[in-house]
Amino acid sequence: MLGRHFYIILFFLILSCRGEEIKTVVPKDINVVGHEQPTSIVAGEIAQFSFEVKGKGNPYLLLHQGLGPMILQPRLDNNKLVFTLEKMYTRQAGLYEWELINNSQVVLSGNLKVLPKQELTTKIETYFGPRSIRAGGDDFSMLFMVPTDVYDNPLPDGTSVIIKRQMDNAQDSIQGELKNGYLWHNLFSSNYAGRMLVSATVNQISSKELTSMIAPSNSVNFQIDYKRVHDYADGNQVIEFITDEIQDRFGNTVADGTLVNFQVTDQDGARLLTAGSTLAGIATGKLLHPTKASNWKVTAYVTGESKSNETQLQFKPAVKDYEVSFLHDNRLIEVGPIHGFMEQLVPDGLLITLKLFNDKGELVDTKLTNSSKGKASFELEELFYENGLYTLQIETAGLQKEFKVALGTNELE
């Protein structure tokens, strides 16, 4: 390590010694007698620096600009040193510092201001966000813009900007001025849901169209109703719960897809649940009719924001009574025909439960079946159920019947 440092130091020493030599051996000095140079140009123009000098030397012009330093070599014109800064080098607006340097010494220095080419404003860079806000006037989207000239230079402070806005079937415009090259403006929502379109104009140049959605505000309490074919608890028809058009406090319909929970409390206090998402403000929830007489209380919620009235409805029993017959030494149990509310056979699929208790009162088996053409049957085969006394509980449509049966005989209690 030490060795390496030593070599590096030695190398620099040698270099610096050489520099010293040149200075002392060939001294050159110049004096500037007169000079002429622009102090401010517009981006994309040529800048000429001319210096009348006396003395001998190799002067050059060092230019500091945003992209880095740049060296210009002179051209001799009528004993004047002329430096030309071509137009492709003046595209970037800003402050350029120049130094006339001879012999590593600054002879003369000054500034050149390059201004943005305002008359050729071509583009307005814009950002607008958030892309959706809520109605009510508290929420806003911010428009941010940077208008630029043809060379992508931001325009000077004070340049006037017109922001145009289309909202609620009306247009308005807002005046503004650039500061630090840009402008931002908060555009607040109104009380109406919809869409806000904005654009900006600078020097007759317009930005693209930008948009922010104004979504409805929080919903307010609403009403619900229900629709059903009949009021019997047949366990087959569908009941629909429907909200009216859910709105926010300004009368805007809530956003499509807003979830509404319909909470149904039955006579036993069990909370059934259905849900619907709104379409044009209306949500629909569906449930099947219960299988036995019931008393339902229904309330709908947009949780946290709003709720509906409570609506009550009753279901009458669809089946009043049914027959049970025992065949084949009581081993075949036929239930039905089960008749519905207008003496029709009940729709297929009514659940019938048979609970079989032995003579000690222990549950032996639970059998399930569905009604088909109004009837259902259970078979208690000898293979599985020995002869003896059993208690049978049959339940369907909320109606329970109990029988004491001796399997293997015709006896029935």
Q: 């293979």: which residue's tokens? A: 383
Peptide bond before 130: cis, by omega within 30 degrees of 0?
Answer: yes
Distance, CA of 304 to CA of 218 (rounded, Å): 9
Nearer Cβ to other proteins, position 35 or 123? 123
Contact call for residues 190 and 207 (beta carbons, < 8 A) = no
Binding of residue 279 to other proteins (CB under 8 A)? yes
**CA 390 centroid distance within chain:** 65
Nearer Cβ to other proteins, position 97 or 381? 381
Out of 33, 259, 327, 412, the residue judged to bind other proteins by CB under 8 A: 259
Out of 19, 27, 349, 388, the residue judged to bind other proteins by CB under 8 A: 349
Binding of residue 257 to other proteins (CB under 8 A)? yes
Sequence length of the chain is 413
Q: What number of other Cβ atoms are within 10 A of residue 75's Cβ?
A: 12
Size of the site for other proteins (CB under 8 A): 64
Binding of residue 215 to other proteins (CB under 8 A)? yes
Binding of residue 165 to other proteins (CB under 8 A)? no
**CA 369 centroid distance within chain:** 50
Q: 């208008």: which residue's tokens? A: 147
Q: What DSSP character marks residue 86? A: -
Nearer Cβ to other proteins, position 82 or 220? 220
Query: Torsions phi, psi of 367, nearest 5?
Result: -120, 145
Distance, CA of 33 to CA of 51 (rounded, Å): 8
- The C-alpha torsion from 333 through 339 and 340 to 345, rounded to 10°, is 90
In the structure encoding, which two tokens stand for residue 225, read together?
Answer: 């109703």
Smallest separation (angstroms) from other proteins to the CB of 286: 4
Distance, CA of 376 to CA of 381 (rounded, Å): 16
Out of 269, 312, 342, 360, the residue judged to bind other proteins by CB under 8 A: 269
Q: 């369907």: which residue's tokens? A: 396
Binding of residue 299 to other proteins (CB under 8 A)? yes
Binding of residue 252 to other proteins (CB under 8 A)? no
Pattern 95-134, other proteins, x by CB under 8 A:
--------------------------------xxxxxx-x
Which range, of 98-106, 268-276, 317-325, 336-344, touches other proteins by CB under 8 A? 268-276
Binding of residue 253 to other proteins (CB under 8 A)? no
Contact call for residues 128 and 142 (beta carbons, < 8 A) = yes
Binding of residue 154 to other proteins (CB under 8 A)? no
- Sign (positive/negative) of CA torsion 69, 74, 75, 78? positive
Binding of residue 340 to other proteins (CB under 8 A)? no
20-79 residues near other proteins, rule: CB under 8 A:
none
Give residue 292's identity as a one-letter amino acid code: K
Nearer Cβ to other proteins, position 82 or 364? 364
357-396 residues near other proteins, rule: CB under 8 A:
367-372, 381, 383-384
Nearer Cβ to other proteins, position 83 or 222? 222
Binding of residue 286 to other proteins (CB under 8 A)? yes
Binding of residue 342 to other proteins (CB under 8 A)? no
Residue (of 207, 159, 150) closest to 183 by Cα position: 159
Binding of residue 256 to other proteins (CB under 8 A)? yes
**Terminal Cα distance for the chain, rounded:** 112
Out of 82, 120, 205, 272, the residue judged to bind other proteins by CB under 8 A: 272
Out of 84, 237, 358, 391, the residue judged to bind other proteins by CB under 8 A: 237
Binding of residue 281 to other proteins (CB under 8 A)? no
Binding of residue 398 to other proteins (CB under 8 A)? no
Smallest separation (angstroms) from other proteins to the CB of 232: 13
Q: How many CA atoms lie within 13 A of 309 on its CB side?
A: 10
Number of helical H runs and strand E runs in the chain: 1, 34
Residues engaged in binding other proteins (CB under 8 A): 127-132, 134, 210-211, 215-216, 218, 236-238, 254-261, 263, 266, 268-279, 284-288, 290-291, 299, 301-307, 347-349, 367-372, 381, 383-384
